[in-house]
Structure 1
Amino acid sequence: MDAYSSRATGRAGHVALGTPQLRALRYVAARSRGGPLGAGAGVTLNFHPDRLVGKETVLERLAREGTYSSQFVTGVGNGGLTAHPGGERWRWETRMFGGAYDEAPPEERPVYGALDHRRRRGGAAPRFGSAHLRLTAATLARTTFCYPDSVTEPSAFGVACRMALVELAEAQVRDPLDDYVEAHVHGGVELDRDVDALVLDPSFRDTAVEAAAARLPCPVAWHPGFVLTADELRRHPDYRGQEYVDLGVRIAREGGGRLDPRVLGEAARTGRHDPQAVKKVWHCLARFGSASTNLPP
């Protein structure tokens, strides 16, 4: 989960003068090139709705708090866990945003998502989870972008009115889990203000995840779903490694011979598996599961 509350903004979501958010936006805008972002493109925030944050799931926490919080606040995430002073993510943000957040409290920092210019039904960056929040068009005015992911220390940046990153991303051939344009939403993400819909995997129908989703102040939608059979998983030992194929096959046996987000989440919550290993199995499921409806081959 990668998100936070918007204490520096009003209900309209405007970034206030003199705030770290405004300084970050101006810093990135000065380094951005290109024309305005095309009509219809938006930002999605992918996450695993059933992973635990303490004793509650991510989605239960979202329903209770009404805000999507960053790793600096939650201490959990679906990428590297380095969101702390002096950590890698802290250093990346110092570089990307010109030190705007160096003295800011954790809840002031941006949340991470991706630009949905490819219109993928599983969200713009399924690498980070089977569910996604589809943000309103209004959030684009306070969003910055980079390509590729900030872990690579990129030199190409964008904002909605200066966006050359889509052409750059579409001109390169990368793994479909890595070809997203990373987005940073400054000024908070409140579910009743900034979200058009929560989009879930159909494996969560009639589960506690769907029940928690019903308590959110935004519409709920469903994408076609990520599904991967054990036989198909065995065909891809070179993707993340044989050990993760073996783990995925063991977990699939408990799910009737196939993997889907619900089955994988149940395995993750048992505590019997290394979370980083489960993450690698998810990468296999996201990459090869139902590829015709979610990701290009």
Structure 2
Amino acid sequence: MAEKKIAEKKIALISDSTGDLGERFVFALTTQLPSEKLAIVKFNFVTDMDELTYVFKKIHAGGYYLIFHTVLSEELKNGIETMSREKKIPAFDLTGPPTDFLIKHLKVKPSWDVKSLHKINETYDKRINAMEFTTNHDDGLGLGNLKGAEIILIGPSRTSKTPTSIFLAIKGFRVANIPIVQSVDVGDTLSDLAGDQRVFGFTIKPEKLQEVRNKRIPELGITPPGYTDLEIIYQEVEWAEKMYRKYKWQTVDITDRAIEETAALIERMIRKYRLIG
């Protein structure tokens, strides 16, 4: 018997800014509907009626089932309500009900000033800059210019330095990560960072690191000498931890942590350092 195919239903998200928050919110809702095949499509930076009219033409032509929106302008809100009614596409205002709730209980009036979104855009720009910095300082790149780094991750190969760096960069932190190998000399870079509270040394149980590296072998094509040898990995981890103690770096054990958990721990530690420093 042929498997029944589930038709994809498209959901439009209209925003006058990046639309990232609305996208995450709608995605969280759709995860509760596993039987449906849903696709969220963003139409962001819609700031006037001409752009909104153009977007609605695309939505109507694309056969979208639903519309969510996160616009602040009353004109755009009214425009979406009118056009969605004309096109017979249900629309829901993600900012309206929460704002009404705040107005009612805080007894304040909103400014409805779209210019306030520039603050959001500044945050967005900061994240883009952080991503660019982190990419340029990945896996030992840019060692001669670490002054701009807010966080520096150090550890043996395959200890999740790069994905953790990217996750932190998405949150706006400029991150550099440096791989360390016993047989490779990186000059005075590490000793120059002695006592630096921006530095976090990654460690991991050797058995777990061996497991991770074994999975990596098909991608590498070749196996570096000692790369998956458990005895050598034990020596490597012990050597790394000794270095962390020598240079007085904060040690983070990633063995049983997801990347998100590791990033959250580092963020808490770096914010604590900033408050103290």
TM-score by length of 1: 0.23
Q: Which has the higher contact order (CA 8 A, sep 6+)?
A: 1
Bigger Cα Rg? 2
TM-score by length of 2: 0.24
